[in-house]
């Protein structure tokens, strides 16, 4: 499975890189969010997309770069993490605003619906949070999938497109079951490909 990993200039991107390499059996391809040579047609070379954490806000073009177009136009399964999660919310009409209390490097229990990204994971799930913004006011197209005990949104999915987001950092060493969450994303990708008849053939091995 080939993943496009969009780097929003975040120190956690290469944690994600190594997790995805292990889950997929091959390294993801990394593109920076301001790569002037990126074209949306290049998505045809990939099976799915991961939009990394990063500083700033998805409301600011210089912070989110090519990710806005990817969320708008990608036909591939897409996972947004932290800033990426906020970007999915923003692009589809949710509100992204200041969190009641900033959380940076703090663990937190997260409750979830046990489906999709969270299939087979315990609830509550102990995760690490690094964010001062939060997504609220979900439109009809988006559905909450995870939240803190005090009601802060921690996960969402699009109802009709293969897009999922998590506010926390599954790639942090202190987050429980982060590798399994990414494996669930790979499983969701394969299910989407099977439904669409678009499963990518592995290149033939040379003798």
Q: How far apart are CA 67 and CA 22, in angstroms?
A: 24
Dihedral sign (CA 115, 92, 30, 13): negative
Dihedral sign (CA 49, 128, 130, 96): positive
CA 118 to chain CA centroid, Å, is 13
Known catalytic residues? 82, 169, 171
The alpha helices in 8-108, defined as continuous H runs, are: 13-24, 61-64, 67-73, 83-91
Q: What is the pLDDT along the chain (207 residues), one digit of tens a residue?
A: 999 999 999 988 999 999 999 999 999 999 999 999 999 999 999 999 999 999 999 999 999 999 999 999 999 999 999 999 999 999 999 999 887 776 666 788 999 999 999 999 999 999 988 787 999 999 999 999 999 999 999 999 999 999 999 999 898 876 879 899 999 999 999 999 999 886 554 433 333
Q: Which domains does the chain have, with CATH numbers?
A: 3-196 (3.40.50.880)
pTM reported for the whole predicted model:
0.92
């Amino acid at each position: 499975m080939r993943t496009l990993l969009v780097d929003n200039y975040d120190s956690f991107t290469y944690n994600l890189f190594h997790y995805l390499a292990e889950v997929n059996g091959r390294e993801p391809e990394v593109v920076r969010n301001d790569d002037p040579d990126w074209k949306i047609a290049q998505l045809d070379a990939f099976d799915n997309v991961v939009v990394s954490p990063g500083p700033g806000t998805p409301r600011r073009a210089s912070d989110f770069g090519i990710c806005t177009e990817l969320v708008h136009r990608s036909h591939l399964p897409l996972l947004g993490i932290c800033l990426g999660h906020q970007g999915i919310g923003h692009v589809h009409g949710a509100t992204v605003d200041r969190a009641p209390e900033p959380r940076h490097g703090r663990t937190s229990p997260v409750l979830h619906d046990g489906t999709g990204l969270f299939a087979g994971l315990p609830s509550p799930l102990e995760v690490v949070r690094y964010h001062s913004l939060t997504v609220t006011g979900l439109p009809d197209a988006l559905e909450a999938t995870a939240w803190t005990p005090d009601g802060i949104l921690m996960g969402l999915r699009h109802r009709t497109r293969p897009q999922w987001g998590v506010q926390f950092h599954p790639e942090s060493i202190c987050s429980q079951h982060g590798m399994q969450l990414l494996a669930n994303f790979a499983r969701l990708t394969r299910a989407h490909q099977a439904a669409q008849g678009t499963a990518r053939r592995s290149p033939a091995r040379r003798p």
